[in-house]
Amino acid sequence: MKIIGTGSALPAQRVTNADLMKFLDTSDEWIVSHTGIRERRVTDAESVAELGALAARRALEEAGVRAEDLDLLLCTNVASDFFTPGPACLIAGALGYAGQTLDVNGACTGFIQAVDIADAYFRAGKAERILLVAAEKPTYLADWADRATCVLFGDGAGAVLLQRSERAGCIATCLATQPNAEFLNMPTPLGNCPFTHREEGPRYLQMNGQEVYRFAVSACVKDLRAVCEKAGVALEDVDWFLLHQANQRILNAAQTRLKQPREKFPGNIERLGNTSSACIPLLLDEMMRDGRLREGQLVALSAFGAGLTHGAALLRI
């Protein structure tokens, strides 16, 4: 498979650390030193589907491909505009696409799961063109009275248009789950079914930050080593490591353990915060457009998130 187009869409509203200090007991110094984040984009009136459709249109336009020429529109998302229909259907509606859609909720690992699914479709001869759209609004999940979590997140959408090709663009993937709903979760609200008896859970995202940190660093390092080993590629031969942008300290710890140069770990967390599964496609789009990503380069992706899901993919651009 080959990437033939990419696109991004961000909410217009920019929220700086100084904006957060107006209602939270926090500081720019704490947020920057503990997370690397200076500002993030937060949806105001934009819906997840609007952001996803805008990113999707940009990827299609760049490649000169019409929506009706897609064989699959695959959307990754955690919090959308509706429980149902899923965001892939809403984005399809905005694009005027009536073919197969698929929604994947693999938390922050969603985009790598989507790459793996797309690769399997191509290998099985089931598709010529697949559009991956990661459209995320994690700011909806966060408790904006909890300074340890709300400062981390930002909204946005990234899209990547893939085409089947003879050359193996997706060289290897490795995906796994360490089942654990305790460290990172968001319960669904109670309905009003009179036959269901359970207690109302917390209304916002719950996170054990230190456990998530430990899991993230070890999963990321293990997955990147495993995917390179599977492909028979040395870490030194990888041009770029594109990691889920959860926290700059996680990225730094992974980079140190992998003993690879800091310059190989580009990021967008400083400007965008943690945009869940959209982090990596947003980064891919930015690097494609500014020319950092070039044909023939080897790119290793790694992500980790609620589930606990984690995984890596090695791509040849």
CB of 98 to ligand ACO, least distance (A): 34
Residue among 8 and 35 whose Cβ is closer to ligand ACO: 35
Residue among 3 and 108 whose Cβ is closer to ligand ACO: 108
How far apart CA 256 and CA 260 sit, in angstroms, is: 7
How far apart CA 94 and CA 269 sit, in angstroms, is: 29
Query: Active-site residue among 75, 108, 174, 279?
Result: 108
Told to judge if 274 belongs to the known catalytic residues of this protein, a careful annotator would answer: yes
Residue among 165 and 178 whose Cβ is closer to ligand ACO: 178
Contacts of 129 (CB under 8 A, 6+ apart): 4, 65, 69, 70, 71, 161, 162, 163, 164
Contact in structure between 173 and 117 (CB atoms under 8 Å): no
Told to judge if 108 belongs to the known catalytic residues of this protein, a careful annotator would answer: yes
Structure tokens belonging to residue 17: 């650390």
Residue among 57 and 147 whose Cβ is closer to ligand ACO: 147
CB of 230 to ligand ACO, least distance (A): 23
Query: Active-site residue among 17, 150, 244, 247?
Result: 244
Contacts with ligand ACO by CB under 6 A lie at 26, 30-31, 34-35, 108, 147-148, 151-152, 184, 207, 209-210, 212-213, 216, 246-247, 249-250, 274, 304-305
How far apart CA 280 and CA 111 sit, in angstroms, is: 7
CB of 248 to ligand ACO, least distance (A): 9
CA distances from 122 to 2, 216, 311 (A): 10, 30, 20
CB of 151 to ligand ACO, least distance (A): 5
Contact in structure between 114 and 173 (CB atoms under 8 Å): no
Catalytic site residues?
108, 244, 274
